[in-house]
Amino acid sequence: MNDLVLIRKNLFRRKLRAILMMVSILIAFAIFGVLASFERAFNAGQDRATPDRLVVLNKINFTQPLPISYYNRVAAIDGVAQITHFSWFGGYYQEPRNFIAAFAVDPENWMKLRDSDYVFAPEVRAAFIRERTGVLVGARMMEKWGWKVGDHIPISSSIWSQRSGSHAWDFIIVGSFTARIPQADTNVMLMGYDYFNETRSFGKDLINWLALRTTSVAANERVIDAIDGMFANSPYETTTDSEKAFNKAFAAQLGNVALIVELVVGAAFLTILMIVGNTMVMTVRERTREIGVLKTLGFSGGRILRMVLGESILLALLGGLPGLGVALLLITRVRDSLMSFVPTLSLYPDIAAAAVGLMVVFGIITGLVPALNAMRLNIVTALGRS
Amino acid sequence: MLSPTDPIDPMIDIVDLCKRFTKGKETITIFDGLNLAIPRGDFVAVMGPSGSGKTTLLNLLGGIDRSDAGEIEVAGERLDRLSESELSRWRASHIGFIFQFYNLMPMLTAAQNVELPLLLTRLGRKERRQRVETALGVVGLADRVKHYPKEMSGGQQQRVAIARAIVSDPALLLCDEPTGDLDRTTADEVLSILQVLNRDLGKTIVMVTHDPAAAQYAKRSLHLDKGHFIEKELVA
């Protein structure tokens, strides 16, 4: 026997109570695991954004277009190192519910700008530049639909139509790419802007936004002022901001996810903290006499404190770790069906590590008061002797 | 006041001990200048009416309560000079406690209960197990190693408590009404074990009891009344 056995035996002396407390903690950490993973997925764009990348949007809002002519004019501004443009395709595959995140871009410059996020094989890079009807498809999207390089796929648009009146475009998959960093989403499709622009029936020579990299972070302010100043008082005024701010604003359309996570997790934790903390106080109070006996035998106050804290931490871990398991199971089950909306949804190791840290903190907080009471307990009082 | 013989090698030496309790605005004096010396190897029964200070004396001897004045030396250590943590360590190595209501841990087996004091030592698992088996053997419970307290009679539980008290080989056993919750036959069995521990293993025993029959097992009885020993009677 050792202290751990003693702690375990104490914890499970009332099995039903211990199990109910563990289930409460399990629920709290399952909620934490799921919501924290969703929050991370929603904010993946912000995590990926680097400080030297800027986004130029129509000042009204990002759904309003900009002329393609802005592309060359912004590229000529001093301090702009790389630039590309994006046009939202609004695609779906076979049926409208099969949403496809697809963008029309300038292939060569898009790949240059995204080199830090994705891995492009040289032959893929060349094929995407060369093939006008070619599309580049991210690894997760390829996997999701079972596509392979060389496949001809019809992709429809819920926004655009061809001059023939058809909403469907036939594309050839010329290559795929993988993520260089975990936050980079590969559930995405890119097509050449030239082909898209030539074939669509309206919106000619318009784009949705520009993305650029400055020569240095220090040049950001100057470049932002130059761009927005250049197009001030024009029919298409611009607002230029960091990519991080852009992604954050994009994510904000889904609501303040972080706030929801904090409120829900906070409420759940506070409730369960009070329940478990109160139960721990009662549990230790019931053992007053036994604690007095242990002290009589020579167990020091510090050792008693460690044992009670150990018990509450063990309780938190025994409830919390299965809770994380439940969160992992839930995320795995819903990930495929939500891939289009939260493509990077996953229970990342750092979220799991934070949860384990939180379990320990939870255990300390719930056990601290009863542990201090036990440590300070007067032996004579505890034994009911005077 | 008791005027004990001057033992050459005292296990317990109390000089001018004072102990008071405060209850509301009232201060109750339990001891006011108590003196006592008990030699090593003695078996003393402390008797007296309720409120005479028997249990308080036992608490002071075991270092689980503090005196207000005077000197209290047990097993060569001045308890009134030790800090709480020093007292904890001292109790673990020098004192074995036996309570009226056994005070076993209900979720631990007999062997695990007996092993508890050994968790405070540096002994390895194997040596701890050997000591537990020996202690349970001494009290005649070698076959109850894996039994839980609820599966044992009161007498068996008290014998487990005795095994727990002796497992770390303390020099002094302090017993607080050890047979107060037992029938006569079982009480006699328990007291016989204490007698053996005193006679054969040389343990010094101080036993608080109300029961004159229990006191007969001790070498001598001390009668405490209103904080003073009023007589000394040699029994054996």
CA distance A286 to chain B (A): 12
| Topology classification of domain B41-64+95-234 | Rossmann fold (3.40.50)
Query: Under an 8 A CB cutoff, do A297 and B164 touch?
Result: yes
CA distance A283 to chain B (A): 14
b/e sequence A227-256, b meaning 16+ C-beta within 10 Å: bbeebeeeeeebbbbbbbebbbeebeeeee
Residue B207 and residue B195: Cα distance in Å, rounded?
11
Query: Under an 8 A CB cutoff, do B89 and A300 touch?
Result: yes
Q: Where are the alpha helices (DSSP H) in B32-124?
A: 54-61, 84-94, 110-115
Any idea what the Cα angle at residue B180 is, between residues B179 and B185, rounded to 5°? Answer: 50
Chain A residues whose beta carbon lies within 8 Å of the beta carbon of residue B116: 294, 297
Chain B residues whose beta carbon lies within 8 Å of the beta carbon of residue A293: 99, 103, 105
- The closest CB to that of A299, out of B59, B88, B103, belongs to B88
**Structure tokens given for A344:** 């990077």
Check if A324 contacts B (Cβ < 8 Å).
no
- Residue A347: per-residue pLDDT: 87
The pLDDT-based confidence of B116 (bands split at 50, 70, 90) is: very high
A322 membership: H or E segment, kind and range: helix A301-335
Over residues B209-227, the mean pLDDT reads 90
* Beta bridge partner(s), residue A154: A170
CA distance B102 to chain A (A): 10
Residue B162 and residue B148: Cα distance in Å, rounded?
16
Is the Cβ–Cβ distance between A85 and A106 less than 8 Å?
yes
Q: Which residue of chain B is at minimal alpha-carbon distance from A1?
A: B112
- Residue A47: per-residue pLDDT: 60
Q: Which residue of chain B is at minimal alpha-carbon distance from A385?
A: B55
CA distance A291 to chain B (A): 10
Chain A residues whose beta carbon lies within 8 Å of the beta carbon of residue B106: 13
What DSSP string runs through A31-71?
Answer: HHHHHHHHHHHHTHHHHH--TTEEEEEESS-TTS-EETHHH
Which residues in chain B (126-155) have CB-CB distances under 8 A to chain A?
128
Which residues in chain B (99-118) have CB-CB distances under 8 A to chain A?
99, 103, 105-108, 112, 115-117
Kindly report the backbone phi and psi dihedral angles of residue A81, in degrees, each rounded to the nearest multiple of 5, phi listed first: -90, -45
ipTM score of the complex?
A: 0.89
Query: Under an 8 A CB cutoff, do A296 and B112 touch?
Result: no
Evaluate the CA torsion angle B10, B15, B21, B22 in order and state its sign: negative
Is the Cβ–Cβ distance between B207 and B178 less than 8 Å?
yes
H and E: helices and strands count for chain B:
7, 10
**Structure tokens given for A56:** 């130029």
pLDDT tens per residue, range B48-80: 888 888 889 999 999 999 999 999 999 888 998
A36 contacts: CB under 8 Å, gap ≥ 6: A261, A265, A351, A354, A355
Chain A residues whose beta carbon lies within 8 Å of the beta carbon of residue B112: 1, 5, 9
- Residue A45: per-residue pLDDT: 59
- Residue B8: per-residue pLDDT: 61
pLDDT tens per residue, range B131-144: 999 999 988 888 99
- Residue B4: per-residue pLDDT: 45
- The closest CB to that of A1, out of B55, B112, B164, belongs to B112
Low-confidence ranges of chain A (pLDDT < 70): 44-49, 250-258, 261, 337, 339-343, 385-386
Query: Under an 8 A CB cutoff, do B119 and A9 touch?
Result: no
Which residues in chain A (231-290) have CB-CB distances under 8 A to chain B?
289-290
Chain A residues whose beta carbon lies within 8 Å of the beta carbon of residue B108: 1, 6, 9
Q: Inter-axis angle of helices A257-286 and A15-42, to 10 degrees? A: 160
**Structure tokens given for B183:** 């029938």
Chain A residues whose beta carbon lies within 8 Å of the beta carbon of residue B105: 9, 290, 293
CA distance B114 to chain A (A): 11
Residue of A377, A380, A386 for testing the chain B interface, max B β-carbons within 10 Å = A386
pLDDT tens per residue, range B138-179: 888 889 999 999 999 999 999 999 999 999 999 999 999 998
The pLDDT-based confidence of B2 (bands split at 50, 70, 90) is: very low
Query: Under an 8 A CB cutoff, do A294 and B93 touch?
Result: no
Which of left, alpha, beta for A212 (phi over 0: left; psi -120 to 50: alpha)?
Answer: beta
Domain boundaries, chain B: 41-64+95-234
Residue A314 and residue A80: Cα distance in Å, rounded?
56
A361 membership: H or E segment, kind and range: helix A349-376
Check if B28 contacts A (Cβ < 8 Å).
no
Which residues in chain B (49-108) have CB-CB distances under 8 A to chain A?
55-56, 59, 62, 64-65, 84-85, 88-93, 97, 99, 103, 105-108
Residue A43 and residue A258: Cα distance in Å, rounded?
9
**Structure tokens given for B166:** 């002796």
- The closest CB to that of B97, out of A9, A289, A296, belongs to A296
Mean pLDDT check: name the lowest of A235-249, A283-297, B94-108, B210-224: A235-249
